[in-house]
Amino acid sequence: MSADQLPKKDTHFENPFPKDLSVFRNNDYNTAMTHSENDFLILGGGIAGLVAAHAAQKNGLNGLLLEKGPMVGGVIQSEWKDRCLLEYGPNTVMLNGALMGLIEELNLQEDMLLADPKTPRYVQIDHTLYSLPLSPLGLLSTELLSIGDKLRFFCEPFIPASKKDSDESLSDFISRRFGSATLERLVKPFVNGIWAGDGDSLSAQATFPKLKEFEKEKGSVIKGAVSQQKNRNQSRIPKGLLSFKDGLGTLPRALARSLKDVIKVEEDAVGIQ
């Protein structure tokens, strides 16, 4: 984006829905939520709650989403300040079919910004920037991994798949399949930028379901990725990490506008009966 395309003054994004704080006080809460026309109650206005409410409303259900804070969006918050776009949480997201469908439903196609998949990305370790490898050849030549770490990485197809059905953390999954150095130097910096979270607490199934699927169906993440590559050119989904012209916060704001009659902010649930 060029300098002349930037806003000429600070832009603060207000709540895109009316703040009605008179609802759900005292006995009104139980009366309202047991009424037959309310089919669902969602606690929390993060991206998961917003998407769930959007899906429910799209399927003809009526209900409410309660957010105890003054704004929805959870950790996904964006703001223009001094002609700079600030991201207070994750700054990009991986585009997939479900997300592309949601973007189309919200008419956000014109606001999309996609990073070129071939654009170099860097990670800082001990005050030095290193280019992240984006190909098998890049993995062989990268200074981020030792020779032993690289051998461990390429041994992944020969590591038996887990037979446990229970979920595991992203850190445990990557360490088990590729080794701890790959986790710390390649995966964790990437994860911090997308989820603004810690791999030790993030679910592998929730963050990288495809990798778990590859292990289950192909016995190996690398084998699964190679198999998927054959069908990639047939996909209509654009490639690259996604953001929007006004930041990643564009998505929760658009969801909130579509749910203005469903969302109630500054409402804290104290119990469920």
8 Å CB contact between 46 and 74? yes
Mean local confidence (pLDDT), 90-113? 91
Please write the tens of the pLDDT for every residue from 38-69.
789 999 999 999 999 999 999 999 999 999 99
d(CA 210, CA 75): 24
Show Cβ contacts of residue 213 under 8 Å, excluding neighbours closer than 6 positions: 224
d(CA 133, CA 270): 48
Q: Which residues of 164-194 are buried (b: 16+ CB within 10 A; e: fewer)?
A: eeeebbbbebbbbbbbebbbbbbbbbbbebb
- Model pTM score: 0.66
Residue 199 has pLDDT above 70, yes or no: yes
Q: Where are the domains of the chain?
A: 7-115+242-265, 122-232
Fold of 7-115+242-265: FAD/NAD(P)-binding domain (3.50.50)
Residue 158 has pLDDT above 70, yes or no: yes
Residue 95 has pLDDT above 60, yes or no: yes
SS (H, E, C) 104-118: HHCCCHHHEEECCCC
31 versus 156: which is more confidently predicted? 156
269 versus 28: which is more confidently predicted? 269
Residue 12 has pLDDT above 50, yes or no: no
CATH of range 122-232; options 1.10.3110.10, 1.10.3720.10, 3.10.620.30, 3.40.50.2000: 1.10.3110.10
